[in-house]
Chain A
Amino acid sequence: MGKTMIQKIIQRASGKEVQVGDRVWCKIDLSTARDFGGPNCVLQFDEVTDKAKVWDPDKIAFTFDLQAPAHAEKVANNQKIIRDFAKRQGISKVFDVNWGIGQHVLLEHGLVKPGDVILGTDSHMNLLGGVGAFATGVGNTDIVASWINGTLWFRVPETMRITTTGSFGKGVCMRDYLTFLVGKLGADGMFFKAVEYYGETIEKSSLADRITLCSMVTEMSGKVGLITPNGEVLDWLVKRAGKEVIERIEAMKADSDAIYSDDLHFDVSKLEPMASCPDAPDNVKTVREVAGTHIDQVHIGSCSNGRFEDIAAAFEVLKDAGFQVSDNVRTIITPTTREVMKQCAEAGFIQKFLEAGVVFTNPTCSLCTAEHYGVLPGGDVGVSTTNRNFIGKVGKGSHTYLVSPMTAMASAVKGVLTDPRDILK
């Protein structure tokens, strides 16, 4: 019987022939922790092992992204716990507060290959499925166990196949398609499953779009979304992670007779700009249906939609609006990584954003939590390209609409929720 991608990945990592439902121990290629969750991992590891050595310091990485640089003493102290541990353990892959969002930084550094099994203390680790890696967010106990002997248990999941065809219309992008999917399938629509994305829309898409699509698998309760690197994305990845990438892709391709639990097909040609309305990602409407809604703040960024292509799309909207955002909203843009920020600087975006009245920040996870600058006061309504809008997520009593970077910028320009097609020329 044929095997899906996740089955092949788990077979490589476990050294065993596996079937759906099996629970097996897998070798871990990279076990990471960040400034959020990481200190707990370090303290727990030292406690349960009596400060033993980690299994392999070269397969552990730390990233500082949730609150970078530290904005409070409690944060600073936690970050120090990680730095001290890395030094003591001889862990050199430490990406401090100057780098940006962990998964993206790992990817840019060539530390992620298709078929890798990667752990992290971030529920959106699985965005690395955008290049075919099985990356997954876990709790601190899982991380600590992996640091002891380099393995972790997994249940082999069912696989859902989603084929996507068609090209996006003006003002519509992958984020809108994703929001549509979350609305269509619901918060548990991918329940514990792996997803394989196929079709011309995916094959033509940028790395940024693939990351968006895989990041939000979490919001549908999926384990990981997997896309086989091809075209420009493959070239980019080989340049970063080496030629082994090509062998890995061959080894993990799904068999033609693989068994899928679901087989879905969507065409994006007639899709409209979409919004996840308060207070759940799967409360989905078209932007037209909620256009004109009062808003107080706009945020463009996050691991889902803060790459150069996302910011460039927002820039186009701002350009067509004459480079001015509304005085009635606070507009914040946060690039994903330092590399993305440099790209924005080189393209001349940052100068224009600043002149338009935008707050352009250093690369961080920024407004994914209420523990960062830009927090919303009770009663305020935010528009954001982040991945969750549970009530109070970025400030008690506040509400958030999740949209594409284009819709976010259109809303920043008009000062109310706005369909970007009303601005784009």
Chain B
Amino acid sequence: MKIQGKVWKYGDDINTDVIFAGKYTYTIKDRAEMAKVALEDLDPEFTKNAQAGDIIVGGKNWGCGSSREQAVTCLKERGIGAIIAKGFARIYYRNCLNEGLPIIVSAEAVDAINAGETVEVDFDASEIKTASGKVFKFPPYPEFVRGLIEDGGLIPHVKKSLGLSK
């Protein structure tokens, strides 16, 4: 799998409140509606203009704070191809794998990537290529995680293992 997309770049400790605002957690239950308000309190430009295939680049501890899964769902539904960060908060990390949203930890790549540039992520070769041609390797997913992502997330994976899927 290979993806290419425009970068939206943010800093450290971006918490789930600003990825998906608390005020929407009670009223919005439709996944497509969640996508429309993604990052509203952090970056209204993103909310307005992000396109399917775009890539988010964050600092350390991306997705800290509340356990709300909408903070992952809204980006997955928006079509975000991957999140590259220096680190992810624990629950957010799980939620990404469970939703089948690829995430990559690479501090070196984060430092080298500029906002707005187009980067390429090659999951088979486990590398990130920046616009200026710099290449950063990242550790390949363990088999278990790869299984989750390839099945499209935890629920399809569990259903498949129980013989419940089509």
> Which A residues fall within an 8 A CB radius of B?
23, 36-37, 39-40, 43-44, 48, 72, 74-75, 78, 121-123, 137-142, 144-145, 148-149, 153, 187-188, 191-192, 221-223, 280, 369-371, 388, 390, 392-393
Contact = CB atoms under 8 A, between A and B. Distances in A.
Interface stretch (B43-51, B117-125, B129-137, B151-159): B151-159
Nearest to A21: B142
7 contacts: A75-B26, A145-B98, A153-B154, A187-B64, A188-B60, A221-B90, A370-B23
Contacts of B13: 187, 280
B91 to A, nearest CB: 6
Contact of A139 (B27, B64, B67, B87): B67
Contacts of A121: 67
A74 B126 CA distance: 45
A141 B148 CA distance: 12
Contact of A48 (B15, B64, B93, B159): B159
Nearest to B12: A187
Contacts of B148: 153
A392 B66 CA distance: 14
B64 A142 contact: no
A69 to B, nearest CB: 15
A137 B93 CA distance: 12
Contact of A23 (B17, B87, B145, B159): B145
B72 A139 contact: yes
A141 B153 contact: yes
Number of chain B interface residues as a range: 35 or more
B29 interface: yes
Nearest to A144: B155
Contact of B67 (A137, A187, A188, A369): A137
A393 B158 contact: no
Most chain A Cβ neighbours within 10 Å, of B66, B70, B93: B66
Nearest to A148: B158
A148 B157 CA distance: 12
Interface in B27-61: 27, 29, 41, 60-61
A40 B29 contact: yes
A392 B64 CA distance: 15
B142 A139 contact: no
B69 interface: yes
Most chain B Cβ neighbours within 10 Å, of A48, A188, A393: A188
Contacts of A78: 26
Contacts of B153: 141
Given A36-B25, A137-B67, A148-B159, 11 more contacts: A23-B145, A37-B68, A78-B26, A123-B65, A137-B91, A138-B94, A142-B94, A149-B162, A221-B90, A392-B17, A393-B17
